[in-house]
Amino acid sequence: MLDTQTFDSRDPEFKQPYGAVPSGTPVRLTLRPPRSGGFSEAVLIAYFESRNEERQELAMTWQGMEGDRDRLTVELPTGDYVGLIWYSFRLTGLDGRLEELGPYQLTVYDSSEVVPSWFGQGVTYQIFPDRFRRTRVPDPTGMVGGRSVHTSWYEQPCYRPDANGEVRNRDFFGGDLKGVREKLPYLRGLGVDTIYFCPVFEAPENHRYGTADYEKIDPMLGSEEDFRELCQAAHALGMRIMLDGVFNHQGFVSRYFNGDGFYPEPGASQSKDSPYYPWYNFSHWPDQYDSWWGIYSLPAADESEPSYREYIFGGEQSIIRRWLRAGADGWRLDVADELPDDFVHGIHQAARETSPDAVIIGEVWEDGSNKIAYGVRRKHILGGHCDGLMNYPFRNNLIAYLLGGDAYCFMQAMEQLRENYPPFAFFSAMNFLGTHDTPRILTILGVGSDCRDHDKDWRAAYRMTPEQASLGRRRLKLGSLVLFAFPGSPMIYYGDEAGMEGFEDPFNRAPFPWGREDRELTDWYTALGKARGELAPLREGDLRWLRARGRVLAFLRTKEEQEVLAAVNAGDAPETLELPWPAVDCMTGTALEAGEQTLPPMTGWLLVKQKGR
């Protein structure tokens, strides 16, 4: 009896304003229960979660009839509250029965600060530094970690355990910052606005997520001067640089923990008098300590320790401030939901004080508005913490659609984010199809799964058949079109545009195939980047769905009088679609008339209105 005609939180007829609201905004809520239900009263019940779960009950006022339905309204004040409000409705029948609707989420955020728009509007390119481009074969002698270097750029990364049963990730290919600088024109030609680097600081492993020294560029990548020159060159081409901040843990082999004694200064494992000893929690010094997910080689930092906070963000020479001054434009926070909220806030504040245009993006794998980590509801996107998040819900739902799911499910998942996220976070999301933590998107779309039912040797050796590669390429074209047309920053994982394949780490981290690129895909991505750069609606326009049913997904991006229509048919049969105006496809130059048009199977359009019509 009580349905979306009674209340729909996404319909302005029932809730105004739409979605998340700034603190201090009153929210008007309306119910339209059927008169046949015989309800005598309705009450709004609101739980202010971060205010000790304060509960308010507000009687709704009868406003009259609309056809065969009653209309009741109430205004919910938010005052100075920031956090989630869970609200529901209790209706009482004339016969005394009770019926409830809800609960629904209302996100109330702090809007006192303007979030820089450059990140969400631009195209991002993720680089795994060791595997992008090298200018020389480096000599690892004397470097932390006991490294080896592949002499051939096209060898397979090591994946088997060593004699001790460990996968140590100490095999390097020698990608460097000068190599990235060489390829800046290529990246700019691809339409890239932001280069997001996986960690570049000294570390023993090729992925560099076990930081050894935050103050030093890894010598295999180059020097601090190389980094500064790269930033200057990127800025001169209109590009920005985002660094990966790994602050939840360091490496066992680091100047701070110094588990193998590589560094001359005593670390936490050598001496309790070390200035770094308070940074770690030992249950039995020196061999039992908190570590990230129980991995001994990644001792976890105590983010409540004042000296650690001062080092990372508090002091004038802190790590956050230092590298922004060196030329970086923002930080991506690794495992952001494992950092305390006030620690993230401290990073955010230090970044903005150092560079008012700096952006902080958090790694979160779920809906970041209501994420609970370690028993705490997180404040990721309530203002003053993260400006945007990595959008794994976008990736997961888009892949599900491309592999045969209903477009309606993708739309519903994205609408849930749009409803729950403050606008700044929705439009500053880092959207993607793949990262260094996921199998290559071409492989997933061509093979159809991650093939975990096979052993790792099988996955290491596997290469797609020509039929699988062709299917993966066609699906990737459709997925990337949606990616570049959707609100938020479209992020390319290095080499996806070149047709790289492979399952999970390290097979998704092979060296970039310079000279062996899939030109068809590279040209496609280049055209998408060009469209994103030239069409304002794709960078900052509103979103309106035209169709999301079955195998067809179509939506409009609108800014003032400009409109762009993205349409995808991921099915194997032609579909009809009503076009609102005569259009030209940016990807092919094909002209289409207004009205009903046939969208062929496995085809995507990026349409702009024909000039003068």
pLDDT of 299 reads: 98
Instruction: Based on the fold, state whether residues 466 and 495 are members of the same structural domain.
Output: yes
Q: pTM of the entire structure? A: 0.97
> 601 and 575 share a domain?
yes
Same domain, 356 and 267: no
Asked if residue 508 belongs to a domain, the reply is: yes
Are 229 and 136 part of one and the same domain?
Answer: yes
Residue 531 φ/ψ region, left for φ over 0, alpha for ψ in the -120 to 50 degree band, beta for the rest = alpha
The count of structural domains within the chain is: 4
Of 534, 550, 582, the domain-final residue: 534
Interhelix angle 466-485/519-534, rounded to 10 degrees, is: 10
Please, are residues 270 and 286 in contact by the beta-carbon 8 Å criterion? yes
> How many whole angstroms separate alpha carbon 131 and alpha carbon 157?
10
CA separation for the pair 92, 10 (Å, rounded): 24
The answer for residues whose C-beta is within 8 angstroms of residue 481's C-beta and 6 or more apart is 528, 566, 568, 587, 604, 606
Is the separation of the CB atoms in 195 and 125 below 8 Å? yes
Closest CA to 21 of 64, 78, 100, 96: 78
Q: Report d(CA 88, CA 79) in Å as an integer.
A: 19
Domain membership flag for residue 9: no
Provide the token pair at 199. 């960690």
The CATH number that applies at residue 567 is 2.60.40.1180
Show the domain range for 202: 123-243+299-534
Is the distance from CB of 248 to CB of 295 less than 8 angstroms?
no
The answer for 526, left when phi > 0, alpha when psi is -120 to 50, beta otherwise, is: alpha
Catalytic residue among 244, 303, 363, 518: 363
Asked whether residue 318 falls in the same domain as residue 281, the answer is: no
Structural contact between residues 3 and 11, judged by C-beta atoms closer than 8 angstroms: no
Q: Residues 277, 266: contact at Cβ < 8 Å? A: no
Please tell me the predicted confidence (pLDDT) of residue 307. Answer: 98
State which of 83, 109, 135 marks the end of a domain: 109
Confirm whether 363 is a catalytic residue.
yes
Q: From CA 192, how far away is CA 178, in angstroms rounded?
A: 18
* Residue among 550, 549, 563, 552 nearest 597 (CA): 552
Cα separation, 306 vs 317, in Å, equals: 15
Positive or negative torsion for Cα 609, 610, 611, 613: negative
The β-bridge relationship of strands 330-333 and 359-362 is parallel
Do the domain assignments include residue 76?
yes
**130 and 34: one domain?**
no
Instruction: Give the bridge partners for 508, in sequence order.
Output: none
**SS3 of residue 73 by DSSP:** strand
Could you report the average pLDDT of every consecutive run of 10 residues in the chain (613 residues)?
A: 86 97 98 94 96 94 95 97 98 94 97 96 98 98 97 96 91 98 98 98 98 98 98 98 98 98 97 98 98 96 98 98 98 98 98 98 98 95 98 98 98 98 98 98 98 97 98 98 98 98 98 98 98 98 98 97 97 97 97 97 97 70
d(CA 437, CA 505): 7
Task: Report phi then psi at 278, rounded to 5.
Answer: -70, -10
Residue 611 is predicted with a pLDDT of 80
Q: Is residue 10 part of a domain?
A: no
Question: Are residue 569 and residue 506 in the same domain, yes or no?
Answer: no
Distances (CA, A) of 14 to 10, 30, 475: 8, 5, 38
Residues 451, 436 share a domain: yes
Domain boundary among 534, 551, 583: 534
Annotated catalytic residue: which of 334, 341, 501, 518?
A: 334
Tokens of 533: 């750069």
| Measured CA distances, 494 to 296, 397, 440, 449, 560 (Å) | 30, 21, 10, 21, 34
Closest Cα to residue 7, out of 104, 86, 96?
104
Whether residue 522 is found in the same domain as residue 553: no
Same domain, 360 and 381: yes
3, part of any domain? no
Contacts of 196 (CB under 8 A, 6+ apart): 124, 125, 126, 127, 242, 244, 332, 430, 491
Active site annotation includes 367? no
**How many angstroms separate the CA atoms of 222 and 526, rounded?**
29
| Pairwise CA distance, residues 448 & 399, whole Å | 10
Task: Tell me which DSSP letter residue 501 carries.
Answer: -
- Can you spell out the DSSP letters for 28-67? EEEE--BGGG-EEEEEEEEEETTTTTEEEEEEPEEEEEET
Residue 405 lies in a domain: yes
376 and 320 fall within a common domain: yes
| Whether residues 208 and 129 fall in one domain | yes
- Is the residue at 265 inside a domain? yes
Residue 605: predicted pLDDT = 98
Question: For the CA atoms of 457, 461, 467, 472, what is the dihedral angle to 10 degrees?
Answer: 80
pLDDT at 2: 74
Q: Rounded to an integer, what is the distance from CA 90 to the centroid of its chain? A: 37
Give the CATH number, domain containing residue 509: 3.20.20.80
Residue 429 lies in a domain: yes
**CATH number, position 83:** 2.60.40.10
